[in-house]
Structures are given as structure tokens and as C-alpha cells.
Homo-oligomer: A and B are copies of this chain.
């Protein structure tokens, strides 16, 4: 495992889906910064399961306890450790997967990697549950970024081909980011969100699941940040974003669409706006040569459909706890699972972006 990220800011995530606790250590935050815990808790609630019927019915309050690093809600320069106790644990749901790896999950690959000694319950350390501590860290980073005039927000751009409006890559505003962050179902177009929800019900009724695309914008990052060749903006953000299970793609600015365009259409004309250099369009998504341009940072991530489905699937049944020999079998997954993880992944993408951006703009300690 390599559950630590960062250069200036170090994020160390620990825990398993059904261990006594999960949590995060955040090292490298500047001292003397106020944390607003109410705001943090609201952010965490956007990711929490059990809030509504399109998410897993596992009920976890996800209220972190802070063991260190804070005095009177203020960072003190020492590492912050936050822990979350796992409470609503039903390991019996996972009894079978000690024997039958779930298609689309890491059960098989982790078994090979750890020789069968890994925690099989609910995906163990590789569970989506570990995005809770990622969001604790990201939620704190978001607050420090806001104190520096940087705001980050994300919305569901697509579920099963139902496409929301996209952010205006030039004019995306603080108000728009706030709006999607306050929305119960984070789309720009509420109508579109309703159609998406219908598709989610429909898939759920079929014992099936859906994937989607999330678009994230960060505004207020000054030009000049990012450290190419290997620590450019895209390298860093993708390093954290791929820590979110189910992410299978990322694109910046025009991304894969730019492959269809000519240079004259994809380049962004530059002009003087008073004393500032600006771009008329933002096909580059706020990053050129791995360095921020001062325009909004825009990226999109692909989320695969939840692999846990009730529909019967082909898999294998291992004959011993540790080996790889077995025989073919069928599997139907009956636990509590999100028919579509995309809505709950939205704050995770914001958290990942916040961690990567704060790490990038912090002076090294």
C-alpha cells in the first residue's frame, strides 16, 4: 500500500471498511488557521451514506474526532489526526466474498497482492469508505484555500448519457460553485438532475447500477503554480483523483474533445484586460505546460458504474483462504450498495482537487 500523498502537505489515510476506525493524518498545514467545524461537517455529509435512497443504506454519521493538531479550532503546526469510528458494520454481508471475488472490485487483485491476508470485509482498505478520511482532509484544505481566495466546486456532468450543462470555463463564478455545493443532487440544471435520478431508480429496480462524469472547477488560483515536468498541475491532480475508487479517466480543459479540433480552434487567444493578461476562451482548462494560467482550472473525471449489483454474475469460488485455485460459480451481491456512486463522489473530487492544489501552492515547510 502507499496511502500517503503530497510534497508540502502530507495526507496519510488509514483504515478498512470494517476496521475499528478509519482516519487521516494531515501534516504540513500552516499554523494559526481557523477550522470551521460546522462547515466541515456539512461538507462531509455530502459524501455520507444513508442520506437518501439513491445511496447505500449503511448509516454512518461520519463525525471525525480530532486527536491532535488543533488548539481552539486553530491549526497549531503539528499534524492533525482525525479518526472516524466504524459503527454500522454488518460483516455478514461480506461473508461470501472471502471465497468469491466480486467482478469489478479489487477482491481478486488484492488477494494476489497480499496473499490472502488482506481485509476482505467490504473491500478493506480499498473500499470507497476510505473516501471519508479523504474528505476530512480535503474539507480542511478547501477551507484554507478559501482563506486564500480559491474556491472549488464540482457537479454531475453526466449520468448514463444524460448530460448536465457544463461550467462556463471563462465565467464560472463563486455563486455557481456555491449553488452546486448546496444542492442535494449536485447538477447545474435541476431538471436534468431529475432525469438522472429517474435513470438511477430504474437501474436500481433492475438490480443494476450506473456510472457518470463529474466536472470540477477551481477559481482564484493565481497564474504560475505547478511544477513541470513531473509535478505539473495535471500530474498532481490526477495523482489524487485516481485515489478515488471507480475513477477511470480524467481530462483537463477540452480534454478528449481537443483531439477532434484544429489548433486554430483549440488555442485560446490572449489579450490585455487592463493590466492583466487573460485568455478569451479557456480550452486549456486553466493550465498550460503544467502551470496555472490564472484562468479557471477545469477538469472532468469518469466514474465507472458501481460494480456491486444484484444481477447475477459469473465469478470463481476459491477453494482455500490463501491460494488462487478454485472453480467457476455465480454471484449475486445483496449488501447495501449505491446504485450510482456519482453523487457521493462529487465532494470526493472536490476534496482531491483541494488536496492537490493546496499541496501545490503551499510553500514547502
Contact = CB atoms under 8 A, between A and B. Distances in A.
Interface stretch (A38-46, A69-77, A168-176, A185-193): A69-77
A289 B106 contact: yes
Q: How many copies of the shown chain assemble into the complex? A: 4
Contact of A78 (B14, B81, B284): B14
Interface string A323-351: 01111100000000000000000000000
Contact of A109 (B66, B160, B224, B306): B224
Contacts of A124: 76, 78
Instruction: Classify the interface of chain A: helix, strand, loop or mixed.
Output: mixed
A365 B2 contact: yes
A144 to B, nearest CB: 14
A232 interface: yes
A31 B117 contact: yes
A266 B104 contact: yes
A122 interface: no
Contacts of A250: 238, 249-251
A365 B10 contact: no
A31 B16 CA distance: 14
30 contacts: A2-B231, A3-B27, A15-B79, A19-B78, A23-B68, A31-B115, A32-B115, A77-B110, A77-B113, A77-B125, A81-B83, A101-B270, A104-B268, A105-B288, A106-B289, A108-B223, A108-B270, A109-B226, A109-B292, A109-B293, A158-B259, A212-B259, A228-B243, A230-B243, A232-B242, A238-B250, A263-B311, A266-B305, A266-B307, A272-B328
